[in-house]
Amino acid sequence: MELEFDFFKNWVRERLKVDLNAYKEKQLHRRIGTVMKSAGAKNLREYADMIKADENTRRVFLDYITINVTEFYRNKDIFDEFEEVIKSNLAPKFGSLKIWSAACSVGAEPYSVALIMERNQLKNNKIIATDIDDTILEKARVGAYKENEIKNIAKEELKEYFSKDGNEYRLAENIKRMVHFKKHDLLLDTYEKNFHAVICRNVTIYFKNEAKNQIYKKISSSLEKGGVFFTGATESIYNPNEFGFKKISTFLYEKV
């Protein structure tokens, strides 16, 4: 089984350009086992053949291992704190802001930032949003959300910036235009520089420590001095100074 798993990981890296070696082993084994069985494959070699032959199987596999649950203003209290940092620290300090939402899933996170900019009348900012998954990025560009993804949005904001379409809430074009989506792999690709804030939440939890530390290092060097790194609610950093960060609060770190 181990050998077969190693073969599969190498195959996925070569063919699908996803580095499974960086993901936590036990969790990954379990998830791959589940998705393989639900596809009707008896073993990983057979599953690899199915992924190779069928676009839909490939998509289901990638969606499943890259887990893309998200929502607007996820962990609202912490997002409120981030808004305060933008208003009272970053915008006065830097003027126009360049912000990166990394591993953005269907876009609820970068669009939350766009809404923050809109309601605080902060203009001329650049919001870049990236994810490893092409399918998810397509959904993000469409900007249609389910009830559970918009539950933290205030009634007034919902009324002003979303229109209801069946079971979905469609985000207004002027907000969508504020976010630029592109594909980026946090493990394999190079990182753009000169950001004033990087938001990278609920993705490093799936990675081994070594991979996670590499990501923190690269995020640190992609930030301007005085810029802010916003992590997920279970991803506080124990040794921020090792990465050139100073703790502002449990989930917000300033590049020093």
Ligand X SMILES: C[S@@+](CC[C@H](N)C(=O)[O-])C[C@H]1O[C@@H](n2cnc3c(N)ncnc32)[C@H](O)[C@@H]1O
Question: If you search the block for the tokens 């990981």, which residue do you land on?
Answer: 9
Q: Nearer Cβ to ligand X, position 57 or 66? A: 66
Residues 75-104 contacting ligand X, CB under 6 A: 103-104
Does 105 bind ligand X (CB under 6 A)? Our answer is yes
- C-alpha closest to that of 86 among 244, 216, 226: 226
Q: Nearer Cβ to ligand X, position 83 or 109? A: 109
Instruction: List the x/- string, 164-203, binding to ligand X by CB under 6 A.
Output: ---------------------xxx-------------xxx
Q: Nearer Cβ to ligand X, position 88 or 250? A: 250
For residue 196, give every residue at least 6 positions away whose Cβ sits within 8 Å of its Cβ, in sequence order, or none: 90, 94, 97, 98, 99, 223, 224, 226, 227, 228
Residue 167 host element (H or E): none
Taking the complex as a whole, how short is the minimal distance between the CB of residue 254 and ligand X, in angstroms? 20
- Please, which residues bridge with residue 100 across strands? 128, 198
Instruction: List the x/- string, 8-47, binding to ligand X by CB under 6 A.
Output: ----------------------------------------
Q: How many CB atoms lie within 10 A of CB 180?
A: 12
Instruction: List the x/- string, 114-133, binding to ligand X by CB under 6 A.
Output: -----------------xxx
For residue 116, give every residue at least 6 positions away whose Cβ sits within 8 Å of its Cβ, in sequence order, or none: 82, 83, 86, 122
Q: How many CB atoms lie within 10 A of CB 207?
A: 18
Q: Nearer Cβ to ligand X, position 159 or 182? A: 182
Q: Nearer Cβ to ligand X, position 89 or 204? A: 204
Residues 57-76 contacting ligand X, CB under 6 A: 66-70, 74
For 62, the token pair is 């990638």
Q: How many residues bind ligand X (CB under 6 A)?
A: 21
Q: Nearer Cβ to ligand X, position 83 or 131? A: 131
For 206, the token pair is 């799936």
Taking the complex as a whole, how short is the minimal distance between the CB of residue 165 and ligand X, in angstroms? 22
**HSE-CB of 219 using CA atoms within 13 angstroms:** 33
If you ran DSSP here, which 8-state letter would residue 191 be given? P
| Residues of the chain by 3-state class (helix, strand, coil), percent to 5 | 50, 20, 30
Taking the complex as a whole, how short is the minimal distance between the CB of residue 95 and ligand X, in angstroms? 26
Taking the complex as a whole, how short is the minimal distance between the CB of residue 224 and ligand X, in angstroms? 21
Binding site for ligand X (CB under 6 A): 66-70, 74, 103-105, 109, 131-133, 136, 185-187, 201-203, 232
